[in-house]
Amino acid sequence: MAAPRKAREGEVFESVYSVIALVFVLVACVELVDGVAVVDVYRLIQYDLAGVPFGSRLASLNHHAGSSLFAPGTDLSRTVVMIPVREVNITFIREYVVQRQPLGGLIFLLPRMFSPENKDSMGGGDDFDKDLMKNILVELEQLLVHANIPYPVYFAFEDDNINAVLVDVKRNDATGQPATATTGGYKLVVSAPEPRKLASPTVTNIQGWLPGLKADGDSTQLPTIAIVASYDTFGAAPALSVGSDSNGSGVVVLLELARLFSLLYSNPKTRGRYNLLFGLTSGGPYNYNGTHKWLSSFDQRLRESIDYAICLNSIGSWDNELWIHVSKPPENAYIKQIFEGFSNVAEELGFKVGLKHKKINISNSRVAWEHEQFSRLRVTAATLSELSVAPELLESTGGLVDNRHILNEAAVIRSVKLVAESLARHIYGYQGKNVNIFADNSSLTVNPSYIASLLNLLSRTPRVAPFLSKNDPLIMALKKELGDHTIDVNLQHEALDGMFTFYDSTKAWLSIYQVASVTFDLLLLLVLGSYLIMLFSFLVITTRGLDDLISLFRRPPSRKVKAA
C-alpha cells in the first residue's frame, strides 16, 4: 500500500505545483498591460540658437495619459496630456509651456487633413473652420519653437484608435483625478535614445545656366538675370515640414520657368541676349545662409554681370494680389523698370502686383527676404511673394499647416505666367507691349501636369536642411530636374552657419497600453492567494489526512525535546 500511496501523493503534489504555476502565470498576466495601439509620432524640433536651447529637450516618454480638462495648477508632472489641435486652449499651453508648469509630456493630435499623404482639398469632409484652424496652428507652432521645453512634445494624427483612447481619458479626467498607478488608465510609451547633436550639418545649393546668344559666341560678356528660390523648410515637426507653399511653390515655378526658357533658348533664332542663372538655394529659414555662401562664391565679373535677380517665395496660395519686395528705393530706375514690367503683365492677367520697400540694416545680420543677400553685395534684386509683410525669424518657413491642401494650382500657374512674360519682355525688348510669348495652346504654354507632379513630390518630402545629406534623394531629384532644362548644373556644399545647432530623433512610435489599477491587482492577488491556500489544504487533507495537515503547521519540537 505504501508504494501506491506515495505514487498518489506524488500525482497530487504534481497537480498542486501545476496549479501554483498557473496561478503565478495569471498573476503575471494581471501585472502586464494590454496593448491598445502603436502609432507614428513626430517630435517637436530641438535646436540651439547661439547656444540658447529651444524646442523639446527630451524624446523618451513613459507616463499615464491625461487631457486638458484639469483645473489650472494641477500637478501633471507624471501625465502626458493629449490635446486635439481643434480643441487647443492657447491659455492652457502658455501656462504649461511659457510659465514652465510641471508636465510629463504633450501630444498634439492633428486632423488627418494635415498629413503629407493626404492630397484632398482642405474643404473635403472635415467639419472645422480651415482659417481658424490655420491661425491656431500658426500661433501654436510659433509658441512651441521659441520656447525651451524640458519634456517630450510630439505630434500625431487622429485615427479611430487614438480617438477612442482620448474619449476614455476625458471620461476619467472629468472626475478631477489624473490617472496614476493606483487608479489605472492608459500608459503612453515612447522608447527613444537621448537626442544627439547633428554633426556638421550642411546646406547644398543647386545652380544651372542657360547661356544667351552673342555675335562672337562669348556669352560671358552678356548680362545675366538670376531666378532664385530657396527649397528647404523649417517647422515645429521636422519630419512633417514639407512646406508646399513656403517654399515648394517657389521651387516649382523656378523649374517650370527653366523648362519654358530652355525651349526658347534651344533655338538660336529665339535665344535671348541675356544669360539666365537658375539657383535653388538652401538655408532659407536661417537668414538665407546658403544664398549668402552661394553669392560669395561668385567671381567679381559674374556678380557685376547680374542685371537683376528675382527671388520667388510663397506664391502658391494667393487670390488677387502679389507683392514685390525691394531694398532699393522705389524711385530707383532699375526698381521702377522691374516693377512696371511685372505690374503691366499682372494687369493683363487680371490681378495686381504691389511694391513694398524695406531698407536693410547692414549692421544687423538678420535677413528677412532672400533678395537682401543680393542687396548687401550691391546687386539689384527683388522678391516676389504673396506675403505683404516680412516674416520674423523661423516664421512662414513651411510649418504644420503648410501642406498640399492649402495650395491653389491655378495661383501657381498664374505665378509662372507672370514671371515668364515679365522676364521675356525684358529680355527681348518688349516692355510695355501686349505680347504673349507664352500663350495658351502654343508650344510654349505652361504645363499644368508638370507643375502638379512637382507639387506632389515636394508636398510629401520634408526638407529641413540639417537633416538632408549631401546626396539626399531630394537633392538629386532637384538636380536632375534642373539639369533636364539647363547646362553646367552643379552642387555647392557648405557648412550651415554655426549659430544653429540641431538634434536628431525627429520621429518615433508611440505605444498605448491600458493598465489596471493597483487596487484591483492587489484584490485579485488576495483572492487568488486565498483560493490557492484553500486548494492546497483540501488536497493535503484528501491525501494525507487531517493529522498530517495539522502537523505541517505545528511548531517544530525544541532541541531539548529532541534530545530527551
The pLDDT, as a whole number, for residue 123 is: 44
CA distance linking residue 114 with residue 126, whole number of Å: 11
Using CB atoms within 10 A of its CB, is residue 145 exposed (0-12), middle (13-18) or buried (19+)? Answer: buried
Greater pLDDT, 507 or 28: 507
Query: What is the maximum span of the chain, computed from C-alpha positions, in angstroms?
Result: 131
CB 248 within 8 A of CB 284: no
Mean pLDDT of 234-242: 97
Which pLDDT does position 530 carry in this prediction? 59
Q: Give the CA distances from residue 253 to residues 76, 317, 400, 451, in Å, rounded to whole numbers and listed in that order.
A: 48, 13, 22, 8
Radius of gyration of the chain (CA): 34
User: 39 or 124, which is more confident?
Assistant: 39
φ, ψ at 112 (rounded to 5°): -55, -20
- Check if the beta carbon of residue 241 is closer than 8 Å to that of residue 399: yes
**Residue 229 near residue 207, CB atoms below 8 Å:** no
How far lies 252's CA from each of 398, 427, 446, 486, in Å?
15, 22, 12, 15
pLDDT in tens, 373-430: 999 999 999 999 999 999 999 999 999 999 998 999 999 999 999 999 999 999 999 9
Kind and range of the H or E run holding 415:
helix 409-428
545 pLDDT above the threshold of 90: no
Measured CA to CA, the distance from residue 466 to residue 504 in angstroms comes to: 9
Measured distance CA(438)–CA(404) in Å, rounded? 26
CB neighbour class for 55 (10 Å; exposed up to 12, middle 13-18, buried from 19): buried
* pLDDT tops 50 at residue 102: yes
What DSSP designation does 503 have? B
- Phi, psi torsion values for 224, nearest 5 degrees: -125, 140
Amino acid 137 reads L
Query: What is the DSSP secondary structure assignment for residue 233, as one 8-state letter?
Result: B
Strands 500-502 and 153-157 turn out to be unpaired
Work out the end-to-end distance of the chain between its first and last CA atoms, rounded to an integer number of angstroms.
33
Q: What is the pLDDT of residues 453-480, one digit of tens each?
A: 999 999 999 999 999 999 999 999 999 9
Distance CA 357, CA 323 (A): 10
- Residue entry with cell 537658375: 278
Does 540 have pLDDT greater than 60?
Answer: no
**Residue 516 — very low, low, confident or very high, per pLDDT cuts 50/70/90?**
confident
How far apart CA 68 and CA 82 sit, in angstroms, is: 7
Residue 107 dihedral angles phi and psi, to the nearest 5°: -130, 115
CA 343 to chain centre: 36
Tell me how far apart the alpha carbons of residues 112 and 133 are, in angstroms, rounded to a whole number: 13
pLDDT at 361: 86
pLDDT of residue 191: 95
Core vs surface per residue 523-544: b (16+ CB within 10 A) or e: eeeeebeeebeeebeebbeebe
Q: Is the dihedral of CA 337, 342, 347, 349 positive or negative?
A: positive
Please give the sequence-ordered ranges of beta strands (E in DSSP) within 211-320, or none if there are none: 224-230, 275-281, 306-313
- What confidence category does residue 30 fall into, taking pLDDT thresholds of 50, 70 and 90? very low
Contact 7, 19 (CB under 8 A): no
> What is 238-259 written as a DSSP string?
GGG---IIIIIIHHHHHHHHHH
Averaged pLDDT score across all residues of the chain: 86
In this prediction, residue 364 carries a pLDDT of: 87
* pLDDT number for residue 217: 63
Question: 498 Cβ partners below 8 Å, 6+ apart?
Answer: none
Section 345-369 average pLDDT: 94
Residue 209: in which H helix or E strand, if any?
strand 202-210
pTM: 0.85
Pairing relationship of beta strands 224-230 and 275-281 according to DSSP bridges: parallel
Which are the contacts of 111, defined by CB distance < 8 A and separation ≥ 6?
A: 85, 86, 126, 128, 133, 157, 158
* DSSP 8-state assignment for residue 175: T
pLDDT tens digits for range 519-537: 444 444 555 555 556 655 5
